[in-house]
Structure 1
Amino acid sequence: KVSILSLFFFLLLGAALNVNIEPSPVISDLGSDVLLHCSFTVDTPSIDFSFLIVKWFLKGVVLMEFNDKITVSRPRMKMSDTEISKGNASLSISDIRIVDEGDYICSILYTPEKIEKTVSLAVKGNVISESKETDLVCSASGYHPTEITVQWLRNGQVLNDAKLSSLQRNPDNTSSISSTYTFTPTNQDKDKAYSCHVNHTALRKPIEEDILLKKILAGGSIGSTLITTFITWLICKLLFKLVTFIGHSFCCCSRTSRPEVSDIKEIPVSGEDEVKFTVDVSKFYPKEIQIHWSHNGKHLEGKTSEQHCNVNDGTYSVTNQIVIPERELKEKYQIKVTIKHESMEEPAVKEKTLQDPETTRFPTAQPATNITTQTFY
């Protein structure tokens, strides 16, 4: 513990904190390991852990925390106590996945100073092996009507031997299709530009996305007999802004997106001895999501509103609710909601502990001044 006297002198003198990171973005291959560099110095002979807190954030979530010791940690992520004592707060991530992509914040608090710096991580999957048969796959999905052109090009020339898959119908009556170009790369393919060209009536002009083969491993260095590199562009990210099918909008995002979860909201039902509890879940993709409620440990089935498509970024938003009779709500009882989505390694959990219903939860209600409607299934 820090004595009051030592803290006074420390605050008086200051620590002149400096934080350094590496240039962004840091580019990493799928399945590889990466180290996000973050170092710090203080103008004292040694680092006093009593004044130090180190945190790493991604999308507002604390991934790692050091406060005398590692107090928060995530699977596949590491910090070193020993290295932190030397001013090295770097974050190590193993087995890189698409969901790891984003802006990481290295936050250093050395009382009384606090500095935060951002390191961007980009994930790519275009590492292929020389002399190993490789598939480049370009996928377009979520579009309507069905007529579409999907082609592979190399340095601007159409690859006529690329194979087009059969048309697939999606549950929302939109369509999906892919074009696959199979080849055996050599070192001559290094720095060659392969492009996926997509044309559709909903587009103002065709879309063309490029992949540059920057890294070709020596033959045999990867044991698999067939290495498939999926270069998937979800063209529907543009299409869904332009097309609807029988008035039903659909969403598509270029990558998985972690849901944002509101606090649990508590709303007395007017004219009824019931209370509604709701939670808003937003900015997630893909569409499938699980929302589970419990009341004092007892599982409850919630009702989900119709999913809303966010046109600006192609993600989904939804509201889920439960209704509980007032007589079943006791002080200190706990309401909990758990959200599971493929973008998260661990479920998101929100909890609410009930207060005394007679004094805090149900004051005299006034008539509502506005009315909103929402469809639940």
Structure 2
Amino acid sequence: MPLAVAPGLLLLLLLLANGTRGALVVSVATSPVRAQPGSDLLLGCHFSVGGDVDMEALVVQWKLGGRLVAEFDAVQSYSRAGASLSLEGLRVGNASLLLPRVGGSDAGLYTCSIIHSPSRESRQVELRVEAPPRVSVSGTAVRAGEHSTVTCSVNGFYPESVNVTWLRDKQVVGGPETPLAQLGPDGLYSATSTLQLVPSISHADANYSCRVQHITLGTPIQEPFWLSVLSQPRLTLLQPLVTLEGQVTLQCLVSGYHPPEITVQWLRDGDPLVTMESSPMKQTDGSFALCSSYILNHPESNAQANFACRVQHPALSTPLESTATWTVPTCTKMCLGVIGLILLVLLVLLATWIVYQCCNISMSQIHVGECFPESSVTVLLCEAEGRLRDTDSLTWRSPRLGKELGSGQPGELSTLMPEQHRVVTWRHRLGLGRQRLTSVLTVQTPRDEESFSCTFRLGARDMQQTQITIPGVAADCPLLDGDMAIF
């Protein structure tokens, strides 16, 4: 006989059976969730019912604000194109919402609601659709004195509003501005900001930066840069320095250029020559200058040659070149007769001359090669000749500074001197045990009249000295002779 159950008892048993289900627990991803535009996003929501999920008692709802996005209630329904819930996931407590190719309209506060009769729980998570910007600067190679544009490019950001400010040495020189943003095919924005300027050489030492502020950034991005200021060199051929013995020194002055990296070369009829040059000297306006020389020890008689000083520099699209023609003067019949008579006399005095030349040491006066007030450079030359030793030297001094400007070893640049002075010294073998010591001092032309001295030093002892006074930049720059003193 079947056991009859009273209606009231049956109801109690059903209530007890329902009461055996565990409490409903719902969890969502840590808020906010960030996603780039165009990416596929799985917005996480998990729940637990303390046992198996009863799909007939399960209702899942996703809302964006007050708008229903997705729902499962025995069947699935969606108002957002492409959104989906996984039935397999729901059976194991995974109610995550898949949103393909998210955009700005998907951003906002989402609510994940789970109903597992008779329990109901909801959790909220914020979705932010955003991307931080990438910043780069271009157009930093500029020419001194010319109108220039530097560009700051801000790319790959979302949402569209971005703020740009230009700084020089931490001071605002442009902006702040909100440049017009363009939406790209990837769903991200890009914008550009420009800095207009007419640079000078002094701007090459300034610390520039492009500062970008965007909602995705905790602190602004500050992209630093330096201007590469290009200034073309000026090339001037100086008057050749000619000694009594016929040695010729060709010189060219290269000035007004920036940056300091430069190549200077002498050519004879197109063939490269071995030359000597001073180190670049920084001028008061920030530009650089140097002097390059080539020495003709024994110019051929009746010979004519083209000597070119060629300069290559980043500011030049093609090398800069200046050419001079050097011609050794020919001698007339009268000139030849006089030379013959002189040779006859010299033959008589040859023995005495050889003895004298082997033992005597002579020193020239200081010669001014050229001075250029517009570039503030003056070149001085001093020579000593005789039976010299390797320890003998020529030393330059400045009475105003009260110190030596330098002597240097032959063939090397002196480095023990102020930045505005450069000394080049070299030695030539003349025969009969004799040598010629030549020293060139390149100085910045002083504002007022100033004196310089050249001393021949025999070992550690001063033997002969010659002195010259040059005018300042406000005066003319004639060729001046110096005075000699013997110790």
Normalised to the residue count of structure 1, the TM-score between the two structures is 0.37
- Rg larger in 1 or in 2? 2
Compare relative contact order (CA 8 Å, sep 6+) and give the higher one, 1 or 2.
1
